Amino acid sequence: MSTASSRIEDFGRLAQSAFARLSDHEDLGLSFSGEEQNYVRFNQGHVRQATHVDQQRITLDFRRDDRRLVLGFDLSGSFSADQTQLAALIAHARAESQVLPKDPFVTPLKNHGEGHEAHPGTAPSVGTLSNAIFRASSTIDLAGLYAGGVQYRATANSKGTFRSFSSESFFLDHSIYTLNADGENKAVKGLYAGHVFEEDGLHAALAESCEKLPALNRKNRSLPRGSYRVFLAPQAVEALVGMLSWGAVSHGAFQRGECALEGLARGESSLSPLFSLKENFKLGLSPRFTATGAVSPEELLLIEEGQLRTLLIHERTAKEYGLTANGASSGEGLRSPEILTGDLDPADTLKRLGTGIYLGNLHYLNWSERKTARLTGMTRYACFWVEDGEIIAPIKDLRFDESLYRIFGSELEAVTRQSLRLPETDTYQERSLGGSQVPGMLIRDFRFTL
């Protein structure tokens, strides 16, 4: 953790030097994001590309006379050069603020206090890792991405806030491919993640993924489009929960006419009494503070037994619509969602499904009609036709087009008693923090269209 703590310390010093440059009526928030990561991409168990990334970025949130500007730059590693660039950007922001029109929805920066959270870990060297995966995948066709190392975030503002979060962790997000009895490629998806990489853990994770291969190797069952009873494994539920961050639980989106759960938000519709959703920062996967330093509640219940309790409300949305902010980030997306568990014993999943489709994963979801929370996507990976509680065959992939009001509402029959913690694996620009905790779900009627 020394890299993270020393860089957060340097950030604190840079921040203080920046705050000293402010004039009257000016405020400044600084957010800091960085990582030192190894990214190793595997194809057929071999290393396709390996990349080490060392990056640090500061974003300035400059306020003056009801104007707001956001500026950012990559730190160079030279304290004095970064200090100079920061000062130049503040001067630029000051000049711009004198000609920009007033922004009626700017909120004042506040002192949100100090707090520092660190999650130490040990990531392997690239050599150790690639050798381990090469050995472990000698008899399987593995494709995937390993990401491991230190991630850190911090925020400070001229009102006195200084908060940081750091984590050293890894994941191996992988697919194991096989050719089934019809000569069709089939695959199972798996994730090995944690703070301390162990070769035994790697073997156990791959072995667990491989357990589904014999069933995938059977001949396909080609199903006609139509409605089926389905079980959504936690990874499939996670994909649906991911869509909620595309405006479905955002108060700003609701006001703009872009909220997929508008009916729920208006109290005109409800979801199933079996469905409850909360933001849960106790999962430890994501910092509780936002870019402005506001600290989210440790837990925030959004939907309780099918009824909306609150949407996510950022400070700016609160100002615009006369509400109280609830610690949401500016995008008003979920950062640490948890769907509460139900009473379905995971061991009884197939029995309760009876005859229908087991969906291991979903792929490429998008709203097909946002207004009615209708979304489309594909089945992917380990998806099986089940008869009388027994897996019969892998299915040929199907396209679905369904509404969340049915999936999480009228057609939701049961929720599993256990849930899975799934850390975020996105790596756009930098490795993401966050993740979710989700159970499996039994759905009475699910519509496939192609």
Partner 1 sequence: MSSPSLSIDCALGEFDPISALQTVKTEADWIGLRYSSETHHHRSARNGHMESNQVLQSRGVMIEALVGGQIAYAATSNLSPQGINQAARIATEIAQATAKQRRSDLSIQQRPAGVARHEGPSRIPLDQIRLEDFTSHLIQATQRLKVSDAIVTAVAEATLVESVTHYVTSSGADLRQQHLLSYQNFGAIAAEGSETQQRSLNGPTARCLQSGLESFNWDELLDECERTGQEALALLKAENCPDETMDLILSPDQMLLQIHESIGHPLELDRILGDERNYAGWSFVKPEDFGSLQYGSPLMNVVFDPGLSGEFASYAFDDGGAPAKREYLIREGLLIRGLGGLESQSRSGIPGVANFRSSGWNRAPIDRMANINLEPGNSSFEAMLSQVERGVFMQSNRSWSIDDYRNKFQFGCEYAQLIEEGRITRVLKNPNYRGITLPFWHSLAAVGQSDTFRMYGTPYCGKGEPNQMIRVGHASPTCLFKNIEVFGGDR
| Residues of span 388-407 touching partner 1 by CB under 8 A | 397, 399, 401, 403
421 contacts partner 1 (rule: CB under 8 A): no
Beta carbon of residue 115, minimum distance to partner 1 (angstroms, whole number) = 27
Contacting partner 1 within 180-209 (CB under 8 A):
185, 187, 189
69 has which bridge partners?
62
122 contacts partner 1 (rule: CB under 8 A): no
The secondary structure of 164-182 as a DSSP string is EEEEEEEEEEEEEEEE-TT
Q: Which stretch binds partner 1 (CB under 8 A): 109-117, 290-298, 409-417, 429-437?
A: 429-437
Burial of 142: CB neighbours in 10 Å, binned 0-12, 13-18, 19+: buried
Pairing type for strands 226-232 and 356-369 reads parallel
Neighbours of 102 (CB within 10 A): 11
Question: Cα(91)–Cα(376) distance, rounded to whole angstroms?
Answer: 48
Question: Cα(223)–Cα(382) distance, rounded to whole angstroms?
Answer: 15
147 contacts partner 1 (rule: CB under 8 A): yes
Contacting partner 1 within 243-272 (CB under 8 A):
255-258, 262
Q: Which stretch binds partner 1 (CB under 8 A): 90-98, 113-121, 273-281, 289-297?
A: 90-98
158 contacts partner 1 (rule: CB under 8 A): no
Measured between alpha carbons, how far is residue 113 from residues 1, 51, 164, 290, 338 in Å? Answer: 23, 37, 11, 13, 27
In this chain, which of 153, 163, 174, 335 binds partner 1, going by CB under 8 A?
174
410 contacts partner 1 (rule: CB under 8 A): no
Site string for partner 1, 208-247 (x = CB under 8 A): ----------------------------------------
SS3 category, 435? strand
Q: Which stretch binds partner 1 (CB under 8 A): 92-100, 157-165, 277-285, 331-339?
A: 92-100
Q: Which is nearer to partner 1, 355 or 429 (CB)?
A: 429
Q: Which is nearer to partner 1, 242 or 346 (CB)?
A: 242
Q: Which stretch binds partner 1 (CB under 8 A): 2-10, 19-27, 41-49, 303-311?
A: 41-49
Residue 258: name the closest of 331, 323, 315, 325 by CA. 331
26 contacts partner 1 (rule: CB under 8 A): no
Q: Which is nearer to partner 1, 61 or 279 (CB)?
A: 61
Contacting partner 1 within 278-317 (CB under 8 A):
none
Pairing type for strands 299-304 and 307-308 reads antiparallel
In this chain, which of 3, 5, 17, 59 binds partner 1, going by CB under 8 A?
59
143 contacts partner 1 (rule: CB under 8 A): yes
Beta carbon of residue 84, minimum distance to partner 1 (angstroms, whole number) = 9
Residues 351 and 358 sit within 8 Å (Cβ to Cβ): no
Question: Cα(61)–Cα(315) distance, rounded to whole angstroms?
Answer: 14
Residue 418: name the closest of 435, 438, 398 by CA. 438
The position carrying tokens 């500016």 is 330
81 contacts partner 1 (rule: CB under 8 A): yes
Question: Cα(384)–Cα(396) distance, rounded to whole angstroms?
Answer: 9
Residues 424 and 435 sit within 8 Å (Cβ to Cβ): yes
In this chain, which of 20, 80, 99, 322 binds partner 1, going by CB under 8 A?
99
Q: Which stretch binds partner 1 (CB under 8 A): 236-244, 277-285, 303-311, 421-429?
A: 421-429
Contacting partner 1 within 355-394 (CB under 8 A):
363-369, 371-372, 374, 376-378, 380
Q: Which stretch binds partner 1 (CB under 8 A): 18-26, 101-109, 280-288, 382-390?
A: 101-109
398: which 2 tokens?
């199907």
Beta carbon of residue 129, minimum distance to partner 1 (angstroms, whole number) = 9
441 has which bridge partners?
232, 415
Pairing type for strands 46-64 and 390-394 reads unpaired
DSSP single-letter state for residue 51: E
